[in-house]
Structure 1
């Protein structure tokens, strides 16, 4: 009986092994989240009757095992296992194979030219070694001239050939260096295993079944950026909404239905903000010079710069990537921000944005061990119709700022932009910049200045009903009056009824803030000391158009009953009693000047000291 059982088990094992089939499939659609993507593959497979195992191969090594789902009608799904095949590493792209072939041919040419160079140099050395005329022969003048002429002509010819070979070798090495750099840009710094999903299933009959495989994959993500264009302050604002896609899953996406989802499994162009100044004994006025709104630096590993590393402001969609030399610059909302540095195959690094320059040394991550997961999937009656759009966008991959038709989908908790036609995205370290939407938005324009911080006027575009645009926070390239102004920040997290977009400073509006020493006084009244501060602010409109202007300043806020602060009776601005912010709103015609006087008095006990300004 025991032998029969062992024999039956042996047959069962062999049956299962013989029924294991290798399945190759293609990515049909992908929903890209901010830091991952959900990938869908579909495959019509003819299945046999009984128990069998299907092995889906050539998958990404970065699959989240918990996210795997398989749907199929009319079969019993018993288990789903995920593992990595370290014997079958990620395949090289056709571009990389072509470049490596070209590099091999270049190395052959360099070897040949080095042989030619060595031969010429040997001839030169031989000629130098035998230039003396020996023997017992009597030399005549003509024979000497003939020998000298021969030596000179031969040496000149050989030296010319030597120089030509050296030039050829130099040019070949320059070309080799460029190709090597390009291959490095395409090749990850480490090899990765390929992913495999095993499906154990049972079918009651022989039939063709449509399998729908979905899973989440990392090393894919996107962040938004914008182009903001304003012709003049009498024209609407044009906002180009772009997706910066990073696809480094080690699997190419060919002609996929692509969707972007907002879900998440040097000189400033941003006008400053007034910080409340709570006055007390021993306190100082706010220090605005320490504010950081941009961080620059470089990212490298032990081998040198890392191009294409992603830099994000944690908890936001503000992001950028390092350039070819590993350098980056990124706008940050405030000094409490945290920067997250990530790159395929390296440990993620986080740094507080408390310095204007932050350099990062990244360390290689450990290779994850093989993981096996057991899960169950339920049959589904949901069938998808096959896309009829075909290969229309084949090859439309590397286009920068490619304008393509999209459909905006507003979900319960997120917003998605669906690319209407199939799109191809190769697995690469490169960023793909896709222009998703361009909006023409009616905006009101207002100049905004905080001369206490900086004596410059900033142009701010104010958008109403901005929620309809479904914007995410991100960097914006600003173009005003057909000129690139700089990089600003669209931050939707704190916007309320209106969204303000800073369009940068305008030198045609001049600001000057000076302390009026003749009117600043200090006197004693009884047991009180009284100090009066007077500031003169001059705003001049050098533009040809009338502008709307807002000027902000501040007065200190008392935290003690014995400290009294009063404004001058002629004060014509608006005072916020809680923050001490003062504001003047006015319209300024071309070539005209507006003079503003900020005058306030602080009274406090004469035996105490206060730092007023």
Structure 2
């Protein structure tokens, strides 16, 4: 059996035996979680069985998704994915320099320790020979002074030399530890873990044939992001559908054919089956056991999910050109949609979001203003989008533009059961709203065994725009949770009153410069020996 090694790319850490027949990425289909990568290579086959190793692949290959196709008369016998660690056989200059430095420092430390040992030995000899004179021969004062000066001078000199040696040894040890850490990091980086595909192919003749293989990797994905552009109430709403594509496969995707898909390759496609539902008397150990099972299930789910924080592009990075700069082919079915980008893309393996524009839609929408002055004095422009289901949109953040100006951010949520999707386009500062409590309608009366409290409010709405607007104004009346508490709407000023929700809704049309005043009041009656909360 002949063993051929086919390299996917010529890299710093590649072995020379893997430098033959390079292969390249032909196409990538990126899903919200995961990507299908298709590669191709030309193989030189010999008569008989050929075991071929295609290396420098990502380590995150899902082996169950592996598909291999060999062209021509060659027969594919088997294919499997594996992970292997490559080591660089050539010693880099930086590694050799660090190793030489560590050897030099070690020798220097050894010499300094020897020098220190000599000085300490000399100090010991001086310290153990301090007997002055004998019984027969007395030492003179001058000799005593000379001897004392010798001890003092020499011992101080020895101590100073030993101190300097210790300082140098400590400094060298710090450098040695630093170099050792750098060397360990460098040696670790010299080892490269790569994915490999091992295929066995049978050939009757010597031939060169193309092999195409694909696999799923979960080291990539995309999240939706939108640009919403409104040029005015009479113009259709424009929606730019974009994808934040990221990948950490370890290899840059350069000049690739990219398709963005809304499908989920990890979804369980088995239909749900309803089994009998049994009930029984509860036992404490059953409850605790069930709680433990649920706790483990939640922990497993949290570990499985990838935390995604969709990236909003900064103001200074906004591209005010709203056209999709290339052709995108959209393919839809009942389950998902695919957007084939006609221009080749580059997606580096850096884990960062890289924006890819997919489609531009002109949405059938109507505009109205919405205000809740009890909570916010601002009036917000809302776009009501009809027939949005045909666009296969996903929930995601949106950058808002009105009349060519960036006005902020919102969140587009197409996952709703209503016919129209609401999208907030931000606050209009040219609409003034004021809400005040009316003192004339604020009172507290004791009526027999009950207390009756009254409240009244006034809402003033002014249109400072140079065009007519439609605006919805909402407020509320409290809802009683007890039969003993009676709530009555005294005056709603023509508002639509929803008893179950307690909401008041006014729909107004305001001409340029026009002001309208709304008033409403209500009363609450309750036993005088009770205290009301929330009023």
The TM-score with structure 2 as length reference comes to 0.64
Deviation at 1:423, TM superposition (A): 3.0
Q: Residue by residue, what CA displacement relative to the aligned partner does 1:110-168 show, whole Å, maximum 9, x if unpaired?
A: xxxxxxxxxxxxxxxxxxxxxxxxxxxxxxxxxxxxxxxxxxxxxxxxxxxxxxxxxxx
Counterparts in 2 of 1:239 and 1:501: CA distance versus 1, 3 Å: same
Equivalent positions of 1:357-506 (< 5 A) are 403-494=325-416, 496-506=418-428
8 Å CA contact 2:311–2:353 kept in 1: the answer is no
Q: Is the aligned partner of 1:516 residue 2:514?
A: no
Deviation at 1:216, TM superposition (A): 1.6
Counterparts in 2 of 1:604 and 1:254: CA distance versus 1, 3 Å: same
Deviation at 1:419, TM superposition (A): 0.9
Alignment partners' CA distance in 1, 2:337 and 2:307: 15
Counterparts in 2 of 1:496 and 1:574: CA distance versus 1, 3 Å: same
How many residues are treated as equivalent by the alignment? Answer: 376
Alignment partners' CA distance in 2, 1:51 and 1:77: 9
1:31 paired residue among 29, 32, 41: 29
Deviation at 1:410, TM superposition (A): 0.9
8 Å CA contact 2:369–2:471 kept in 1: the answer is yes
Counterparts in 2 of 1:481 and 1:316: CA distance versus 1, 3 Å: farther
Alignment partners' CA distance in 1, 2:417 and 2:325: 28
Partner of 1:373: none
> Where does the alignment leave 5 or more consecutive residues of structure 2 unmatched?
7-17, 90-188, 266-304, 315-320
Deviation at 1:191, TM superposition (A): 8.0
Deviation at 1:605, TM superposition (A): 1.6
3-state DSSP of counterpart to 1:579: coil
Partner of 1:50: 48
Partner of 2:211: 211
1:610 paired residue among 512, 532, 535: 532
Equivalent positions of 1:176-255 (< 5 A) are 193-255=193-255
Alignment partners' CA distance in 1, 2:249 and 2:219: 6
Deviation at 1:427, TM superposition (A): 3.1
Greater radius of gyration (CA) = 2
Deviation at 1:49, TM superposition (A): 3.2
Deviation at 1:429, TM superposition (A): 4.9
8 Å CA contact 2:45–2:209 kept in 1: the answer is yes
Alignment partners' CA distance in 1, 2:44 and 2:407: 60
Deviation at 1:532, TM superposition (A): 1.4
Alignment partners' CA distance in 2, 1:191 and 1:474: 40
Equivalent positions of 1:581-596 (< 5 A) are 581-596=503-518
Deviation at 1:20, TM superposition (A): 5.7
Partner of 1:580: 502
Equivalent positions of 1:522-533 (< 5 A) are 522-533=444-455
Counterparts in 2 of 1:200 and 1:81: CA distance versus 1, 3 Å: farther
Alignment partners' CA distance in 2, 1:84 and 1:230: 54
Deviation at 1:317, TM superposition (A): 7.8
8 Å CA contact 2:254–2:348 kept in 1: the answer is yes
3-state DSSP of counterpart to 1:475: strand
Q: Is the aligned partner of 1:320 residue 2:311?
A: yes
Equivalent positions of 1:288-307 (< 5 A) are none
3-state DSSP of counterpart to 1:518: helix
Q: Is the aligned partner of 1:256 residue 2:256?
A: yes
Deviation at 1:205, TM superposition (A): 4.9
8 Å CA contact 1:260–1:417 kept in 2: the answer is yes
Deviation at 1:43, TM superposition (A): 2.9
8 Å CA contact 2:51–2:198 kept in 1: the answer is yes
8 Å CA contact 1:33–1:262 kept in 2: the answer is yes
Alignment partners' CA distance in 2, 1:594 and 1:239: 34
8 Å CA contact 2:69–2:76 kept in 1: the answer is no
Return 600-609 or 420-429, whichever deviates more: 420-429
Deviation at 1:48, TM superposition (A): 2.9
Alignment partners' CA distance in 1, 2:417 and 2:342: 31
Alignment partners' CA distance in 2, 1:210 and 1:531: 86
Q: Residue by residue, what CA displacement relative to the aligned partner does 1:354-391 show, whole Å, maximum 9, x if unpaired?
A: xxxxxxxxxxxxxxxxxxxxxxxxxxxxxxxxxxxxxx
3-state DSSP of counterpart to 2:390: helix
Partner of 2:477: 555
Partner of 2:488: 566
Deviation at 1:199, TM superposition (A): 1.5
8 Å CA contact 2:434–2:459 kept in 1: the answer is yes
Alignment partners' CA distance in 2, 1:233 and 1:402: 23
Alignment partners' CA distance in 2, 1:579 and 1:201: 71
Q: Alpha carbon RMSD of aligned pairs, Å?
A: 2.9
